[in-house]
Amino acid sequence: MKRWSRRRFLKLGGAALTTGIVLGSSSALALRRLQPLSIANPLEDYPNRDWESVYRDQYGYDGSFTFVCSPNDTHACRLRAFTRNGVVTRIEQNYDVHRYTDQLGNKATAHWNPRGCPKGLTMHRRVYGPYRLKYPMVRQGWKQWAD
């Protein structure tokens, strides 16, 4: 097997690069031949924009409430949950940390905004998930043992 010399590598590399540039520029040349459309407002002539309402409806909500998220950490972030038909659809951060005051009247700064972690923002998955606790768990036979 013949060894590759540096000279041969540079020749073949240069040829490959030149070929790529020539083939790539042919599509650029084809785009230059296209003429722009003469439409004053493209949004008026755009066909059937009803599909956009699907994306807007994803963020629609009936009501919202705030809650404190403390999933085994010390931050206690205040989050806002948005509900539709009584079911939480998404959770967002509340941008009001700068209005928090403690018992002495000390305020936090806006530098803490946004306050929330991915664990808290997925809390609704834990609430509605298939592995949630649906009732208090007491072992059967515990009462007989205690009596």
Q: Is residue 124 part of a domain?
A: yes
% of the chain exceeding 90 in pLDDT: 12
Mean pLDDT, all residues of the chain: 81
Per the structure, the count of domains in the chain is 1
pLDDT, tens digit, 9 for 90 and up, residues 26-61: 666 666 777 777 778 877 777 777 888 888 888 889
| Structural domain includes residue 111 | yes
* CB proximity list for 87: less than 8 A, separation 6 or greater: 128
Q: Which residues contact 26 (CB under 8 A, 6 or more apart)?
A: none
Over residues 7-20, the pLDDT tens digits come to 889 999 999 888 87
Establish if 10 belongs to a structural domain.
no
79-88 mean pLDDT? 92
Question: Is 90 exceeded by the pLDDT of residue 83?
Answer: yes
Residue 146 domain-assigned (yes or no) = no
Give mean pLDDT, residues 95-114: 81
Range of the domain at 71: 60-128
Task: Write down the pLDDT at residue 30.
Answer: 66
Give the model's pLDDT for residue 64. Answer: 94
- What share of the chain in percent tops pLDDT 70? 92
Predicted TM-score (pTM) of the model is 0.54
- 4 lies in some domain: no
Across the beta sheet with 87-93, what order do the strands follow?
A: 63-69, 77-84, 87-93
Within-domain flag for 133: no
| Distance of alpha carbon 70 from alpha carbon 122, whole angstroms | 12
CB burial class (10 A; 0-12, 13-18, 19+) of residue 69? buried
